[in-house]
Amino acid sequence: MTKSERFYRHIGTNPKLLDFIDRMRRKHPTRSTVCGLLLAEVRSSSEATDDQMYCLGMLRALRCHRGLRALEDSAWSVANRIQSEDCSDDTLPKEKDRNLFGGILCVIGDIDSESSHSSLLKFYSSVRNTHLKATVLIAMSVEHSMFDIHFVVDILEQEAREPIILSGLCALMLQLYRFDSTIWWKAVVSHLTHPSAEVRACAIRAFGPTGGPEARLEIARLLDDADPEVRKWAAWMLEVIDHRG
């Protein structure tokens, strides 16, 4: 599938958006539709909306420096709006804003370069809102060569805020198969006894790609957990591990 085909698959047949993009292209005939330079122009246009930025961002084809900068600016715009409106750093942002922020960051993560990884690290260290920090970890799980498992493991070993722990476990869940268990084992196992049932269930699921005899022993202890959801996930994961042999 070509870049242009991916582009139109993402934006569908929205006439208003297609017309907007067509007019932008006519203004800049030497630029391709999926170029980061065009995205920078779209963002600065008075006609651009958050929804249009989201559609354009999801192209996952913006790898030039200016394109990355445009994505960063868009994500900061959303983050700053969320943090200026919320009275507490633990307030859950509106779903639309949270999804937009996460969507843009996932595009940055998909670039999978030193610059994009540095950008995600800067977002994690700079945003105050707990749920936005958790969203950054999910975006990091989209990375491949630049994914820093040690960074995520360190967060899981030090962090007490539940949304961040859940996102850290989810990030590991998608990446564990690529790394030796000695790197992440302690961080995952320690959360099987977490006070939160949601965290315990998430830790069980994190073993999914790499479940083995050692994981089976740890998960079996949760068959008698006080929470029915935890018991359900423990039983399901044990079946998966046994099926794999």
Mean pLDDT by 10 residues, the chain (245 residues): 48 58 61 58 63 52 64 88 79 87 86 91 95 96 94 96 96 87 90 96 83 83 96 92 74
Q: Both 115 and 88 in a single domain?
A: yes
Q: Final residue of a domain: which of 89, 117, 147? A: 147
Can you tell me the distance from the alpha carbon of 142 to that of 53, in angstroms, rounded to the nearest whole number?
Answer: 19
Q: Both 121 and 163 in a single domain?
A: no
With H, G, I as helix, E, B as strand and everything else as coil, classify residue 87: coil
Q: Both 169 and 126 in a single domain?
A: no
Q: Both 28 and 46 in a single domain?
A: yes
Q: Both 184 and 73 in a single domain?
A: no
Nearest partner of 72 among 102, 43, 104, judged by Cα: 104
N-term to C-term CA, the chain: 37
Can you tell me the distance from the alpha carbon of 245 to that of 229, in angstroms, rounded to the nearest whole number?
Answer: 25
Listed as own residue / partner, the contacts of 179-183 with beta carbons closer than 8 Å and 24 or more positions apart are 179/149, 181/210, 181/214, 183/149, 183/150, 183/153
What pLDDT score was predicted for residue 203? 94
Q: Both 143 and 159 in a single domain?
A: no
**What Rg value do the Cα atoms of the chain yield, rounded?**
20
What pLDDT score was predicted for residue 80? 92
Q: Both 3 and 124 in a single domain?
A: yes
Can you tell me the distance from the alpha carbon of 193 to that of 117, in angstroms, rounded to the nearest whole number?
Answer: 32
**Domain residue limits at 11:** 1-147
Whether the Cβ atoms of residue 188 and residue 203 lie closer than 8 Å to each other: yes
Whether the Cβ atoms of residue 117 and residue 136 lie closer than 8 Å to each other: no
Q: Both 94 and 5 in a single domain?
A: yes
**Residue ranges of E strands in 86-234:** none
With H, G, I as helix, E, B as strand and everything else as coil, classify residue 144: coil
Whether the Cβ atoms of residue 136 and residue 120 lie closer than 8 Å to each other: yes
Q: Both 63 and 25 in a single domain?
A: yes
Nearest partner of 222 among 242, 211, 208, 237, judged by Cα: 237
What pLDDT score was predicted for residue 100? 85
Q: Both 67 and 170 in a single domain?
A: no
Q: Both 85 and 202 in a single domain?
A: no
